[in-house]
Chain A
Amino acid sequence: MSFYEEIKKYAHFDFDSFFERIGVSDVKRTIVRSRLNEQDYLILLSPAAEDCLEEIALRAHHLTIQHFGRVIFLYTPLYLSNYCVNHCVYCGFRVNNKLERKKLTSAELVKESEIIAATGLKHILILTGESRKDSPVSYIKECVEVLKKYFTSISIEIYPLDEHEYAELIAAGVDGLTIYQEVYDENIYSELHPAGPKRNYMYRMEAPERACSAGIRTVNVGALLGLNRWRSEAFFTGLHADYLQNRFPDVEVSISPPRMRPHLGGFPPPFAVSDKNLVQYMLAFRLFMPRGGITVSTRERADLRDRLVKLGTTKMSAGSSTSVGGRLDFDSAGQFEISDERSVSEMAMMLYSQGYQPVYKDWQMISQEPP
């Protein structure tokens, strides 16, 4: 049993003809329902729902405040390594892109951790490309040992692992997993991942389930917006989150709606996703999963992020860098260009000005007990 079986049920589903049948009255009926099912979620993702965005936004805003309070959780990404054996056509780190490959040494990691810790952040998201040779699990574990001295919550966004490897990292101090399926459409997935271990669609899709079985505390899934038509990708991302929440009720489940950004070796997004589309996706998800987290990264512009605070967002990155050693003196290419360059304190000021509390710490590592 895995999410793959759930998604298979929609193999012959005709999204276009479903959307054609949906009118504004269907949307309005759906907005006020106390518990939305899969079909309700899709109704809110329909073109017809675009005419009701303000109404959906009011309810989404209310639900977010009710369940999360007037707070936004902050974190920052830390790139450990950009070695990668994959051929993902949309990624700046892909194997045949010419860029200086690098992985942080322990001393460099200490230095970068100190810089981040000085901002007050306690939640870190560590990233690597996929290379079991250059950034094996043992290397990530060594990094976690260093990071534990500075941060109280460590999430990973790395290549998919076996369950026992997740268990190993959890025992070392990792508590969160972010892994994007990139694109839920299996055919498009296959086209965009022509070679390398990432070609294995199933192994990636079931990674969150393996991490949950291994005891991870938070899991964040998503589709990279721009690789396929966004409505179906948003739908499957929501279903994936819902599936994980049902099967692993003690795990905190969230989604990210990352939009493609310019990067080295530029691959233009085949499908446009407008600001309006992004907002509709976030709002629909909030009504579908009122307690589900929504993470908004610095892929989005500062002015838009300011608006998204009140549109369902629960977590935001700040003071980001997408290159290895980006906060040190290295001059290496990032995975993608970021759009919001604000520092942690600038983000905090923005949040306070909107009547929100920036939360720097929302987990306490409990793997080590006091003496």
Chain B
Amino acid sequence: MWEEVRIVEDILKIGDRELTSRLFLGTGKFSSNKLIPEVVKASGVQVVTVALRRMDTAFEEENIAAYVPGDCILMPNTSGARNAKEAIRIARLARAAGCGNWVKIEVITDNRYLLPDNHETIKATEMLAAEGFVVLPYMSPDLMVAKKLVEVGAAAVMPLGSPIGSNRGLRTRELVRILVEEIPLPIIVDAGLGRPSEAAEAMEMGVAAVLVNTAIATANDPVAMARAFSMAVKAGRMAYLSGPGEIVDYARASSPLTGFLRE
């Protein structure tokens, strides 16, 4: 019974917000903005990220941010930033536009794989955290970089599972596992998860949440896929909290080495 109680009260705290959903949603690839509220409703998502570059407050009908339900946290991201300076400017513009103080830092200097620039990400995180932003930096999983991000005031750390939009799954598994073990902040796998089973796999490892865009937005039925991801995230989380059995590569029927001690 103790585990059940713990699962029911399982809260993810980021900044001063308490979340019950551990699936975050990206929004850049939907065939229509109108799908966003449907997807949010079907999946129970509470954090939605929108690129500032796509927001258009002057054109309500086509403004992607206007489709994010009011009870969600709207987390602007700095897509398009090529260095810390640009990311900082974008974050400030987003806050000035009334998007709150959460920001997902994306600094990308490689347009072939869209891999983040960890060095510039640290610089942007430091500056924005000091300005009172709740900063969630997207990064290539690296322990030293993650430690630095903790030091400069990140609210969570968001390692990639594989390159953005690749649907290749949790290819960085070992590195993410180390972050989960060593970093005292929520670890959120962002990018690359292509299937609900991969989201479940990440959650079973103990990551705090996952962020999904491509796999949901480009599915034939995005609403059903969002629900599937939501269920997988819950299942993975529950499995993690339940303490999965140890994986061993030998049978436990006998003790060939120490069995004689019991004789």
Chain A residues packing against B (C-beta within 8 Å): 65-71, 120, 122, 152, 217, 245, 249-253, 291, 352, 355-364, 366, 369-371
Interface-lining segment among B27-35, B122-130, B151-159: B27-35
The reply on B54 being an interface residue by CB < 8 A is: yes
Q: Are B167 and A66 in contact (CB under 8 A)?
A: yes
* CB-CB under 8 A for A65 and B93, given A250-B111, A357-B33: no
Q: How far is the CB of B219 from chain A (nearest CB, A)?
A: 10
Q: Are B56 and A69 in contact (CB under 8 A)?
A: no
The reply on B59 being an interface residue by CB < 8 A is: yes
Task: Collect the chain A residues with CB atoms within 8 Å of residue B96's CB.
Answer: 370-371
Q: Are A369 and B93 in contact (CB under 8 A)?
A: yes
* 0 or 1 for each of B104-130: is its CB under 8 Å from A? (1 = yes): 000011111010000000000000000
Residue of A nearest to B56 (CB): A361
Q: Are A251 and B111 in contact (CB under 8 A)?
A: yes
* CB-CB under 8 A for A369 and B92, given A250-B111, A359-B54, A360-B59: yes
* CB-CB under 8 A for A250 and B80, given A70-B31, A245-B112, A357-B33: no
The reply on B90 being an interface residue by CB < 8 A is: yes
Q: Are A70 and B30 in contact (CB under 8 A)?
A: yes
* 0 or 1 for each of B21-46: is its CB under 8 Å from A? (1 = yes): 00000001111110000000000000
* CB-CB under 8 A for A361 and B54, given A65-B218, A245-B112: yes
Cα distance A363–B93 when bound, in Å?
Answer: 12
Q: Are A291 and B92 in contact (CB under 8 A)?
A: no
Residue of A nearest to B32 (CB): A357
Task: Collect the chain B residues with CB atoms within 8 Å of residue A363's CB.
Answer: 53, 80
Residue of A nearest to B220 (CB): A355
Q: Are A366 and B55 in contact (CB under 8 A)?
A: no
Interface residue from A69, A358, A370, A371 paired with B29 (Cβ < 8 Å):
A69
Q: Are B55 and A249 in contact (CB under 8 A)?
A: no
Q: Are B112 and A69 in contact (CB under 8 A)?
A: no
Q: Are A71 and B29 in contact (CB under 8 A)?
A: yes
The reply on B100 being an interface residue by CB < 8 A is: no
Q: Are A253 and B92 in contact (CB under 8 A)?
A: no
Cα distance A35–B73 when bound, in Å?
Answer: 38
Residue of A nearest to B28 (CB): A69
Task: Collect the chain A residues with CB atoms within 8 Å of residue B53's CB.
Answer: 361-364
Q: Are B29 and A355 in contact (CB under 8 A)?
A: no
Task: Collect the chain A residues with CB atoms within 8 Å of residue B111's CB.
Answer: 245, 249-253, 291
Q: Are A250 and B82 in contact (CB under 8 A)?
A: yes
Interface residue from B32, B59, B108, B114 paired with A352 (Cβ < 8 Å):
B32
Task: Collect the chain A residues with CB atoms within 8 Å of residue B52's CB.
Answer: 364
Q: Are A360 and B218 in contact (CB under 8 A)?
A: no
Cα distance A358–B56 when bound, in Å?
Answer: 13
Q: Are B89 and A369 in contact (CB under 8 A)?
A: yes
Cα distance A355–B32 when bound, in Å?
Answer: 8
Residue of B nearest to A365 (CB): B93
Chain B residues packing against A (C-beta within 8 Å): 28-33, 52-56, 59, 61-62, 80, 82, 86, 89-90, 92-93, 95-96, 108-112, 114, 165-167, 214, 217-218
Number of A-B contacts (CB under 8 A): 91
* CB-CB under 8 A for A366 and B90, given A70-B29, A249-B111: yes
Q: Is the interface of B mostly helix, strand, loop or mixed?
A: loop
* CB-CB under 8 A for A249 and B62, given A357-B32, A363-B80: no
Task: Collect the chain B residues with CB atoms within 8 Å of residue A250's CB.
Answer: 82, 108-111
30 pairs from A and B in contact (CB 8 Å cutoff): A65-B29, A66-B165, A69-B214, A69-B217, A69-B218, A70-B217, A71-B29, A120-B62, A122-B59, A152-B56, A217-B80, A245-B111, A250-B109, A251-B111, A253-B111, A291-B114, A356-B31, A357-B31, A357-B32, A357-B33, A360-B59, A361-B56, A363-B53, A363-B80, A364-B53, A366-B86, A369-B89, A369-B92, A370-B96, A371-B96
Q: Are B217 and A370 in contact (CB under 8 A)?
A: no
Residue of A nearest to B33 (CB): A357
Cα distance A355–B221 when bound, in Å?
Answer: 12
Cα distance A251–B114 when bound, in Å?
Answer: 11
Q: How far is the CB of B117 from chain A (nearest CB, A)?
A: 9
Task: Collect the chain B residues with CB atoms within 8 Å of residue A217's CB.
Answer: 80, 82
Task: Collect the chain B residues with CB atoms within 8 Å of residue A252's CB.
Answer: 111
Task: Collect the chain A residues with CB atoms within 8 Å of residue B109's CB.
Answer: 249-250
Residue of A nearest to B117 (CB): A250
Task: Collect the chain A residues with CB atoms within 8 Å of residue B29's CB.
Answer: 65, 68-71
Cα distance A245–B218 when bound, in Å?
Answer: 26
Residue of A nearest to B113 (CB): A291
Interface residue from B56, B110, B165 paired with A67 (Cβ < 8 Å):
B165
Q: How far is the CB of A310 from chain B (nearest CB, A)?
A: 12
Task: Collect the chain A residues with CB atoms within 8 Å of residue B86's CB.
Answer: 366
Interface residue from B31, B92, B218 paired with A370 (Cβ < 8 Å):
B92
Task: Collect the chain A residues with CB atoms within 8 Å of residue B92's CB.
Answer: 369-370
Given contacts A291-B111, A370-B95, 5 further A-B contacts (CB under 8 A): A66-B214, A67-B165, A250-B82, A251-B111, A364-B90
Q: How far is the CB of B103 from chain A (nearest CB, A)?
A: 14
Cα distance A120–B108 when bound, in Å?
Answer: 28
Q: Are B54 and A362 in contact (CB under 8 A)?
A: yes
Q: Are A120 and B59 in contact (CB under 8 A)?
A: yes
Cα distance A340–B97 when bound, in Å?
Answer: 36
Residue of A122, A152, A359, A364 contacting most chain B CB atoms (<10 Å): A364
Going nearest first, the 7 A-B pairs with the smallest beta carbon separation are A69-B29, A370-B96, A70-B31, A250-B109, A361-B56, A250-B82, A366-B89
Cα distance A250–B92 when bound, in Å?
Answer: 22
Q: Are B218 and A249 in contact (CB under 8 A)?
A: no
Q: Are A249 and B80 in contact (CB under 8 A)?
A: no
Q: Are A370 and B59 in contact (CB under 8 A)?
A: no
